[in-house]
Amino acid sequence: MSFPARPRKLADCRLRGAGTELFLVEGDSASSSVVAVCDPEFQAVLPMQGKPMNPLRGSAERITTSPLYAALIIALGGGVGAGFFLDRVRYDRVLLLMDPDADGIHCGVLLQMFFYRWMRPLLDAGRVQVVWAPMAEVRVAGQEEPTFAYTEPHLQSVRHALRLQGKQILDTVHHRGLGSMYPPMLARTCVAPATRTTVPLEAKDVLRAIEVFGGPRPAADPQLQLFGTD
């Protein structure tokens, strides 16, 4: 099967199909960091430049001409909207790996909405997943490996639990972006399949995000034949 030209900033992998992964990250700094520690045999990386437009409100023309979404559509190779074909997608999984901060959360939600509305079969097949990047690490006396926290409430819970155990907390380091993580940590917590924390994304998860960030559910639109019409 032949594929169209690939986006300029896509760091592609050598394999195709089963077992391959496409990481979507924020910007060139995050992309460079992930590329440095990923396995180029089966892991590809695409930086998403800037914050995406709201895909629930955009027309098909606006989506396909948006540089950010256009790069993603071309990279995946399966088309978009009513013209999306699951069996043409280059990669087995799409991994949303955003910075562990407010901008990263918002960017990740917009991408989730994109897959919900414009590539729903990929979402329903369980092939869009979210990688939890740690926002902080707690270093404890006598413990070689740090304890990772993924949200602010989780961090407070971790620190409280360590104190109850009589542990001496030496330091708490916050990570505002993937580029601030040292490579072995980034590889272990976000990139390596055996050790990262990855959650498959479901339509119900996106609907909850839409209610918080994007307003009402998208209505059925016969002209665009949207997928997000539960």
Among all residues, which ones are annotated catalytic? 26, 99, 101, 103
Tokens representing 2? 């032949």
Tokens representing 224? 């665009």
C-alpha torsion angle, residues 125, 216, 51, 64 (rounded to 10): 60
Length of the chain: 230
What is the C-alpha separation between 127 and 59, in angstroms, rounded?
A: 24
Instruction: Please list the residues that pair with 96 across neighbouring strands.
Output: 24, 130
What is the C-alpha separation between 210 and 68, in angstroms, rounded?
A: 20
- Mention every residue, 6+ apart, whose C-beta is less than 8 A from residue 208: none
